[in-house]
Amino acid sequence: MSPIDNDLPDLPGLTQETNLAPRPNVAPAPSPAHGSIKITRCPDGRAVGRVEPLRGIMLKMGRDAACPISLNDPDVSRVHAILTLSEDGLRIADLNSTNGTWLNGAKITTEVLLKTGDTLLLGATVLIYTRL
């Protein structure tokens, strides 16, 4: 019996060979994107041109790094808005942000359905939505 076998008394039949058996390296496939947003203007300019694929049923947008769509903009609330996938497409709602969420130049006060080409303004960041 090898020294490794002695270290595993509660796992009968486990040997060094069993312990070192190769494991498949399979990562889960990402869910398909149902749309994207492209940053066209932001305060520091570094994120201009960045395209975020939209995956999942609910995506929070905000300054907080924990948000799936994190925006480096001091005028954006930590958790500013939420995108929700519905049967008819992607909807956006403001989450009581300090500066509001604007869609095509109008401040939104209720959940709104997005369409390709819509312009979003969160703080000083401008984003363009594309439905896939």
pLDDT at 113: 97
pLDDT at 76: 98
- Kind of pairing between the strands at 58-62 and 69-70: parallel
pLDDT at 86: 92
Residue by residue, DSSP assigns 63-128 as SSTTSSEE---TTS-TT-EEEEEETTEEEEEE-S-SS-EEETTEE--S-EE--TT-EEEETTEEEE
Cα gap 117→130, rounded to integer Å? 6
Q: Which residues contact 8 (CB under 8 A, 6 or more apart)?
A: 14, 19
Model confidence pLDDT, tens digit, residues 54-89: 998 999 999 999 999 999 999 999 999 999 999 999
pLDDT at 78: 98
Stretches in the chain below the pLDDT threshold 50: 1, 5, 8
pTM given for the model: 0.76
